[in-house]
Structure 1
Amino acid sequence: MTGHALPDAETVEAVLASHEGAWEAGTKVLSVRDLSPGLGQAAVLGVSAAAPDGRRSGWIVKIPGWGHRSLLDSRDSQLDRREAHFFSSGIPALLPPGLAVPQDATVVGHRGLDWIVMRDLGPVLGRPWTPAAATTTALRAALLYVPGARDPGLLDVPWLEREGHAAYTHHIPAGHDNLDALAHEPRLKALFTHEQVHALHTCLDAATELTSRAATLPTTLVHGDLTPRNAGLDADHTLVLIDWEHVGVGPVGFDLGTFVSLYRTFGGHGELDEPALLETYGRALGDLAGADSRHAAAVGFATVHLTWGLHLRLGPGLTAVRQGLHSDNPGELARHLDDIRSGCLRALAWASVAGVAAGH
């Protein structure tokens, strides 16, 4: 952490009172809860407030840059400022019907830090994820193509993340080391077969090739971290997205790849038919782009599985296990290992689509 306590109710109330926003003048902050994610580099506060006439409202206050560096070790120099740039820009207004950001999102400054204040979307984000909801998400994710199509210059702004699918390549050496160590650790040696370990090494070594190939694909505005944890479908089936600190430009298929890769990790129920979801996304994207985009979307989707997905699981994912994370909770450890195994094997299934010869 930053070395000082999280803002209390009195501080939050004073900050709101000193700035204009959708909250009413004289709003009283009743309570503040720490909702900061364990791996995040931001403070996230749940704020309960009351207007002068007694009407209650719920808000989220996010303070980028407040948190600590985690095993994910993002080396993105713009991470602490990008989401504030996003909400201060015209991009949210360009999102088409079917996509939404938190209501009344406002960026205010306090003691040199950006505070992002927005309506609490708890009920929307708390809805269960099912394969049917994932299909709707595939359709809605294609809509991120629209802002760039309407305003091509939009994708040139310097603060947008680029090559987000390759953002964790610095974990590749740790991934190789962790794979080599499996054979010597009794509780881990059965995680993958010898052939699978060889194939995973091959995929890790293909990062430069994959990045070069991804650079030839059509691009789109990407959320950059589209997972079930950062998304929800409202009553009208609008896809509402939070946590825009990785918003950027990437290959088509990127966001669907991240969503599918971490679907079960973040609470999704049921098995996903990945080819069917990709077909849904590709057809929707083609309708928007006016050209058959299914092959390009498949390559982008597969690339994210083999970079973003593998680098996180074989790097910090396996490192956390080897360092004893979850060792006191066998059930949690088993779920973590199952995610590493299943996620890596699903990635291998897409290797040939991404152009990597990783026979296993």
Structure 2
Amino acid sequence: MSPIRPTDEMIRKLLDGHRHEVVSPSTAHVVADLSPGLSDASIVRVDLGGPSSWGRFVIAKIASAQSDEVPGAFRRGPLGAHREVDVYRTGVVSALTKKIVTPTLHAIDYIDQAVCLWLEDVGSCLDVTWEVTRAVRAAESISQLHQGDLPSLEPKVDWRSNEFDAFRHHVPLAREQVLAALDDHGDHRSVLSVEALRCGLGLLDNAASYAGELAAAPTGFNHGDFHIDNAGWSGDGRLLLIDWAQAGTGPIGGDIATFLSNYRARGGSTGSLTRGQFDTLIIDSYCRALSDGGADDTVIRAARRVIDLWAVSWAVQVRLGPGLAAARREDLGSSIRTGIESDIAEGIERAQNAVERLG
């Protein structure tokens, strides 16, 4: 299903059912398209035309409500739109920890096999500069989400997820792209070395083994897409997270692995620290927070191993599949392609370090 692109007319029609909360739907209009490029969701900022119980501005997120029971899907069953609704309706985040907050969900509408979430506009909370201190605080805060048993909440939800295995469908494309890059390496300038590409092939060969070990790791409730574009800080200083479409139970440490894998590529600063020093600081801070929260040494060791397993599987499969394919597109321009290649090289370097620790 192609993403639904909200028009002013569509927005006003949907808002007509919320007249008691919105001043006048006829004055509402889209003021910004915030949709991420690869998502199947459309996200827009809407000006309601005046003060209302929802505020002056709201976020409308419209995503497919169709089943995703296909190979390589994030989970078996409902798509992320339903999972995100589950997160807001049950209040699972606040039940697990008071150190993390979510935007307020104002209302839900259903249209054309899609779900429309009307959410609090938290743009000002997300508009922050990410540096080392904030990254450490985020790692410490997210640890609380991963600990303890899921409470009994209504409506009841099956929170099982399979993000640890979700990206294996990229392996065939990744192998194809790496072999093509090796074949024409002598004819193209590239920041990716032959050694790095061959290392990538070896990691792809072990995809099934890595996924199996991740499946057996201790689990906790994960955000599922924890990176700085989905994170900010509330007015009272708590970690604020958006985009819960991939939330669910998964290996403890998976969120931190995702955070580290995306951090510099999305504009996060490591200050005077090298990539390796920054990774070590964030992982150590996360593990100390797990310990302070009551996790025993067995769980903490498992979390460290999960972070390494993620680095040699998910992070490489995505980079060498769609990532390397994008880096080879002439229409993107040389600077963009070089940036993508640099990110791939960093991911492979992180994976090589992880392989040494995994033994």
The two structures have a TM-score, normalised by structure 2, of: 0.85
What whole-Å deviation, never above 9, does each CA across 1:205-236 have from its counterpart, x for those lacking one?
Answer: 22221122223321110011111111112343
Question: Deviations for 1:128-172, whole angstroms, at most 9, x for unmatched residues?
Answer: 1111111011101101124x5252799x943x3523022110111
Q: Deviations over 1:338-357 (max 9, x none)?
A: 111112211221123344xx
How far does the alpha carbon of each residue in 1:74-98 deviate from its partner, in whole angstroms, 9 at most, with x for none?
5655334322232233424414221
The residue identity in structure 2 corresponding to 1:121 is: V
- 1:1-360 counterparts in 2 under 5 A? 2=2, 6-19=5-18, 23-24=21-22, 26=24, 29-32=27-30, 33-51=32-50, 57-65=56-64, 76=75, 78-79=78-79, 80-146=81-147, 148-149=148-149, 151=151, 157-158=157-158, 160=159, 162-183=161-182, 184-185=184-185, 186-187=187-188, 190-194=191-195, 196-270=196-270, 271=273, 272=275, 273-292=278-297, 293-326=299-332, 329-355=333-359
CA contact (8 A) 1:210 1:354 kept: no
CA RMSD of aligned residues (A): 2.9
Q: Distance in 1 between matches of 2:282 and 2:45?
A: 34
- Please list every run of 5 or more consecutive structure 1 residues that lacks an aligned counterpart in the other structure: 356-360
Take 1:3 and 1:257, find their aligned partners in 2: how far apart are those partners?
29
Identity %: 27
For 1:27 and 1:300, the matched residues in 2 are separated by: 48
Deviation at 1:41, TM superposition (A): 0.5
The one-letter amino acid of 1:302's match is D
Task: State the one-letter code of the partner of 2:311.
Answer: H
Q: Which moved more, 1:117-126 or 1:181-190?
A: 181-190
2:335 maps to a residue whose letter is G
Farther off after superposition, 286-295 or 166-175: 286-295
Alignment partners' CA distance in 1, 2:107 and 2:84: 11
Q: C-alpha separation between the residues in 2 aligned to 1:41 and 1:342?
A: 27
- Residues 189-212 of structure 1, C-alpha deviation per residue, up to 9 Å, x if partnerless? 551243x33322221122221122
TM-score by length of 1: 0.85
Q: Which amino acid aligns with 1:106?
A: A
Flag the 1:52–1:242 CA change in 2: closer, same or farther, 3 A: closer
Deviation at 1:321, TM superposition (A): 2.1
Q: Is the 8 A contact 2:203 2:312 kept in 1?
A: yes
C-alpha separation in 1, matches of 2:103 and 2:326:
32
**Structure-2 separation of matches of 1:90 and 1:38:** 29
Q: Which amino acid in structure 1 is aligned with residue 326 of structure 2?
A: A
CA distance in 2, matches of 1:88, 1:65: 18
Measured in 2, the distance between the counterparts of 1:161 and 1:150 equals 11
Asked if structure 2 preserves the Cα contact closer than 8 Å seen for 1:223 and 1:248, the reply is yes
Larger helix fraction of residues? 2
Q: Which structure 2 residue ranges, 5 or more long, are not aligned?
A: none
